[in-house]
Amino acid sequence: MLRSSASRLMGLAHGAAARQSTRTIVTAKLPDLAYDYGALEPVISGEIMQLHHAKHHNTYVTNFNVAMEKYAEAELKGDVATMISLQGAIKFNGGGHVNHSLFWKNLAPPGECAPPEGELLSMIERDFGSLDALKTKFAAQTVAVQGSGWGWLGYNKATQKLAVATTANQDPCSTVGLVPLLGVDVWEHAYYLQYKNVRPDYVNAIWDIVNWKDVAGNLAAAK
């Protein structure tokens, strides 16, 4: 009886280990763009777009996948210390991937960008007074980001209102309690080759390539 019970316990342990070892690891993939690298000119140069997408974003994807693989290995071993040590890399690189994936869709060639309308415009006018007032508030807060980070137009599910916020480094918009609708990258790699250290010019120019249809779609999905 004891031998039989021990055999069953060993079988259960082996089964649990097998299930854990075959657990799918979360991975990221560099998304394709819906436009050519040069399509956002003159607001953002093709050279910046190529470096930003193919190099910087791809690096976040690569490093996130490496961190997640190491995390899965540590979890399998029950190595909690290593799992904790990997949280920073997962947050930074995972955030970089999530943020940039939204950013690319938030943009479109100048000739394809129409002003916001419908419910999105109504909410902008209700919560900020006007589209111009939103742009002014967004620019002021985003330009003021110290070092590297992001400017956000987000939706607050609790208040059912729009809000402007900023995050440092690659922290996602969700870390400030908002669903991201529009994100603007103000890391220097996003603009320095073209705008040098004049961040306000970059932030004010980017409105010409904001894809408000995508922003409206994000709002509809958030509600």
Long-range contacts of 38-41, Cβ-Cβ distance < 8 Å, separation of 24 or more:
39/109, 40/107, 40/108, 40/109, 40/110, 40/209
pLDDT at 8: 47
**So what's the pLDDT on residue 15?**
46
**Residue that the structure tokens 């290995």 belong to:** 73
Please report the pLDDT score of residue 24 as a whole number: 79
Q: How far apart are CA 139 and CA 149, in angstroms?
A: 13
The C-alpha angle 93, 97, 101, rounded to 5 degrees, equals 170
DSSP state of 162: E
CB-based contact 170:93 (threshold 8 Å):
yes
pLDDT at 156 (0 to 100): 98
Q: H helices then E strands: how many in the chain? A: 10, 3
From CA 148, how far away is CA 18, in angstroms rounded? 43
Residues 6+ apart with CB under 8 A from 128: 134, 137, 162
**In the 8-state DSSP scheme, what is residue 23?**
P
Give residue 145's pLDDT.
Answer: 98
**Residue-by-residue pLDDT tens, the chain, 223 positions:** 434 444 443 444 344 444 455 567 889 999 999 999 999 999 999 999 999 999 999 999 999 999 999 999 999 999 999 999 999 999 999 999 999 999 999 999 999 999 999 999 999 999 999 999 999 999 999 999 999 999 999 999 999 999 999 999 999 999 999 999 999 999 999 999 999 999 999 999 999 999 999 999 999 999 9
Single-letter amino acid code for the residue at 157: K
At a CB cut-off of 8 Å and minimum separation 6, what does 41 contact?
A: none
Q: What is the DSSP string of 36-101?
A: -GGGGTTTS-HHHHHIIIIIIIHHHHHHHHHHHHHHHHHHHHT-HHHHHHTHHHHHHHHHHHHHHH
From the number of C-beta atoms within 10 Å of its C-beta (0-12, 13-18, 19+), residue 204 rates as: middle
